Chain A
Amino acid sequence: MTQSITMLDPTSEKTNAMRSRKAPPASLDGLTVGLLDISKDQGDHFLDRLEVLFGERGIKVERFAKPTYAKKAPDDVTASLAERCDVVVEALAD
């Protein structure tokens, strides 16, 4: 006599292929860098300095902020990034 047992898996039962991020541009000439503050303490000071450093190299930046690091960025923030920038630098998770 044989008995069949069905085993159920508590996990997602998936493995993912790794995909690359969007390829960066060859040069930042004429492009706008979006600086996204995730709203952790000190991140604003960190981005203030990055803004100065980009400025010294003649690279245009725009500042954005998530309301809280505890939740993902609202759609209006990501939409604004897409409308106004070409690349994004997000900081600072610690």
Chain B
Amino acid sequence: MLDIDRKGLPAVALFSEEFESGVEAWRDVHGFDAGAIYVRHPIQPLTVDEVHARADEIFDQVIAAITAP
């Protein structure tokens, strides 16, 4: 995420919600307020259709994260 930001690109990264505390720790260590969106856990056991449904759930958040308020 840092490398992409250094290239001048606004970015957001998507994580399972189980990784929120890890992202917070990473932000603190790097002093970088990375854009993050959390998707409902789990992901790995889902069917393709269920993965698509997870994407549908958070798409509005993705748009909001990559456009200025």
CB neighbours (8 Å) of B62 from chain A are: 50, 89
Are A93 and B13 touching (Cβ within 8 A)? yes
- The residue in A26, A36, A86, A93 that gathers the most chain B C-beta atoms within 10 A of its C-beta is A93
Against B, the Cβ 8 Å flags (1 = close, 0 = not) of A30-68 are: 000110100001100111111001000100000000000
Are B7 and A21 touching (Cβ within 8 A)? no
**A21 contacts which of B11, B15, B41 (Cβ < 8 Å)?**
B11
Count of chain A to chain B residue pairs whose CB atoms are closer than 8 Å in the complex = 133
Are A23 and B8 touching (Cβ within 8 A)? no
Are B27 and A18 touching (Cβ within 8 A)? yes
Given A42-B51, A53-B55, A93-B16, A21:B5 Cβ within 8 A: yes
Q: How far is the CA of A86 from the CA of B68 in the complex (A)?
A: 13
Given A42-B44, A90-B4, A22:B56 Cβ within 8 A: no
A16-B28, A94-B41 given; 8 more Cβ-contact pairs under 8 Å:
A18-B27, A24-B66, A26-B67, A42-B51, A78-B3, A88-B11, A92-B43, A93-B15
Which positions in B face A, CB cutoff 8 Å?
1, 3-5, 7-16, 18-19, 27-35, 39, 41-44, 46, 48, 51-52, 54-56, 59, 62-63, 65-68
